[in-house]
Structure 1
Amino acid sequence: MSKNTNTALGILAGATIGAALGVLFAPAKGSKTRKKIKEKINETGETIVEEAESIRNSVADSISSKKETLEELIEDVVSKGSHKAEDVIDSLEKQLEILKEKNKTLQKS
Structure 2
Amino acid sequence: MKYNNYRKVLSSLTSQKSDSTLPVVALLAGLAVGAVIGVLFAPERGTDIRTRISDKAKGLSDTAKDKIRAVKNKFHTEEEELTDLKDEVVDKVKSKAKEATDLKDELVDEAKSKAKDISEEVKSAADKVTNG
Partner of 1:69: 88
Q: CA deviation at 1:48?
A: 1.0
1:35-58 deviation digits (Å, cap 9, x = unpaired): 111111111111111111111110
Q: CA deviation at 1:31?
A: 2.5
Bigger radius of gyration among the two:
2
Deviates more, 1:30-39 or 1:81-90: 30-39
Alignment pair present for 1:106 and 2:112: no
Q: Distance in 2 between matches of 1:92 and 1:72?
A: 30
Higher relative contact order (CA 8 A, sep 6+): 1
1:1-109 to structure 2, matched below 5 A, reads 29-108=48-127, 109=129
1:15-48 deviation digits (Å, cap 9, x = unpaired): xxxxxxxxxxxx9933322211111111111111
Secondary structure, in 3 states, of the residue corresponding to 1:78?
helix
Letter in 2 for 1:75: K
**Stretches of structure 2 lacking an aligned partner (at least 5 in a row):** 1-43
* TM-score (norm: length of structure 2): 0.58
